[in-house]
Amino acid sequence: MGFLSNLINGISLGSIYAVIALGYTMVYGIAKMLNFAHGDVIMIGGYFVYLSSSKLLHLPPVLSVLIAMVACTILGITIEKIAYKPLRKATSLAVLITAIGVSYFLQNIALVIFGANPVTFTSVVSIPAIKLFDGQIVISGETSVAIVVSILVVIGLSLFIKKTKTGKAMLAVSEDKGAAQLMGINVNKTISITFAIGSALAAIAGALYCSAYPILQNTTGAMPGIKAFTAAVFGGIGSIPGAMIGGILIGVIEILGRAYISTQLADAIVFAVLILILMFKPTGILGKKMVEKV
């Protein structure tokens, strides 16, 4: 029973990783860059939920999350406009360093505004826990909400990309920026929208993550960010279902590692997984192989 309960917790944590990983995978697929600051957008989202639900405004949870989503969307678009857009044609090294700079900036501005002391986050979930097998397994409200939300997000996003004009434009840009432009697609706008969606998802992930692990500080987003990137690579970078599969696998590996191997080394195990994937299957489970043009 202990195993089953760990497994469920793993799937739940993995669902949150999946939502974060979607942001990485979309931006990587379309803008061809690793947005290092994505994890920190989660942290900013967490603070917005915290401020609007408990600290300042005492709004209902759903409304707080919506406010955080709007705030993060604006943040994501602003970051892209100011920091990344001028570097569209620069080397990946320059873009990567800039993204690290943005991550560093977000962490430190949160430090200046909110201080170094962590705040206790009040869960946004008020759904009661589900008890199975006469209470031997308890699935908390946070756990079930995380799983349901992530499934909805993945389905919604897949439909968005397949059915809408904007979604198809995103696909086209990810295939070939130049050709998409010639077809009359506004590449800059498409990239902006990608960042907007990724950041809104990061806000959701922030609310879910902080509800499950209610300690919020300026570095809160860094670790889940890196693990979610691992998930995106695991599933195959650029693939939406891949992000979901990768996220859940990483979540399960982390929780089982924590339970059965070592609490201290759980993170190390996840990172070891990343290194192993890159060694043996760098394209991930559902990834495509990219051919370099000469």
Partner 1 sequence: MLKKLKFKKPDTKNSFVTYGLLLVTFAIVKILFEAGKLSYMIKDLLVPLCVYAILAVSLNLTVGILGELSLGQAGFMCVGAYSGALFSNLLEEAIPQVLIRFPLAMIVGGICAAIFGILIGIPVLRLRGDYLAIVTLAFGEIIKNIFASVYLGLDANGFHVSMKTASDLNMDLDGEMLINGALGLNGTPRDSNFTIAFIVLFITTIVAYNFVNSRTGRAVMSIRDNRIASESVGINVTKYKLITFALTAFFAGVAGSLYSHNFSTLQASKFDYNLSILVLVFVVLGGIGSIRGSIVASILLTLIPELLRGSIGKYRMLIYAVILIVMMIVNNGDYFINLKEKISVKFSSKFKKTKKEVV
Task: Report the nearest approach of partner 1 to the CB of residue 276 (Å).
Answer: 9
Spell out the alpha helix ranges (H) of the chain.
2-31, 38-50, 61-79, 92-114, 141-163, 165-175, 177-182, 187-212, 222-235, 240-260, 266-280
Q: Is the CB of residue 24 less than 8 Å from the CB of residue 38?
A: yes
The smaller minimum CB distance to partner 1, of residues 50 and 229, is found at 229
Which residue in this structure is represented by tokens 């089982």? 256
Residue 34 sits in the site that holds partner 1 (CB under 8 A): yes
The smaller minimum CB distance to partner 1, of residues 104 and 133, is found at 104
Of 77, 171, 278, 285, the residue at the interface with partner 1 (CB under 8 A) is: 278
Written as one string, the DSSP assignment of 195-259 is HHHHHHHHHHHHHHHHHHS-EE-TTTTHHHHHHHHHHHHHH-TT-HHHHHHHHHHHHHHHHHHHH
Helices 187-212 + 165-175 axis angle, to 10: 100
Task: Report the nearest approach of partner 1 to the CB of residue 279 (Å).
Answer: 4
Task: Report the nearest approach of partner 1 to the CB of residue 54 (Å).
Answer: 26
Print the binding letters for residues 82-121 with partner 1: x by CB under 8 A, - otherwise. -x--xxxxxxxxx-xxx-xxx-xx-xxx-xx---------
Task: Report the nearest approach of partner 1 to the CB of residue 289 (Å).
Answer: 12
The smaller minimum CB distance to partner 1, of residues 56 and 294, is found at 294
The smaller minimum CB distance to partner 1, of residues 205 and 226, is found at 226
Residue 291 sits in the site that holds partner 1 (CB under 8 A): no
Burial classification of residue 293, based on how many CB atoms lie within 10 Å of its CB (0-12 exposed, 13-18 middle, 19 or more buried): exposed
Which of 242, 161, 167, 243 has its CA nearest to residue 205?
Answer: 243
The smaller minimum CB distance to partner 1, of residues 134 and 292, is found at 292
- Count how many residues are written for the chain: 294
The smaller minimum CB distance to partner 1, of residues 40 and 142, is found at 40
Residue 2 sits in the site that holds partner 1 (CB under 8 A): no
| Region at 140 (left for phi over 0; alpha for psi -120 to 50; beta for the rest) | beta
CA distance 235 to 18: 10
Residue 275 sits in the site that holds partner 1 (CB under 8 A): yes
Q: How many residues bind partner 1 (CB under 8 A)?
A: 45
- Interactions with partner 1, residue window 194-253 (CB under 8 A): 222, 226, 229-230, 233
Task: Report the nearest approach of partner 1 to the CB of residue 146 (Å).
Answer: 24
- Going by their DSSP bridges, the two strands 215-216 and 119-120 should be labelled as antiparallel
CA distance 185 to 174: 12
Task: Report the nearest approach of partner 1 to the CB of residue 228 (Å).
Answer: 11
Q: Token pair for residue 243?
A: 């992000």
The smaller minimum CB distance to partner 1, of residues 61 and 284, is found at 284
Residue numbers of the site for partner 1 (CB under 8 A)? 28, 33-34, 83, 86-94, 96-98, 100-102, 104-105, 107-109, 111-112, 222, 226, 229-230, 233, 262, 264-265, 267-268, 271-272, 274-275, 278-279, 282, 292, 294
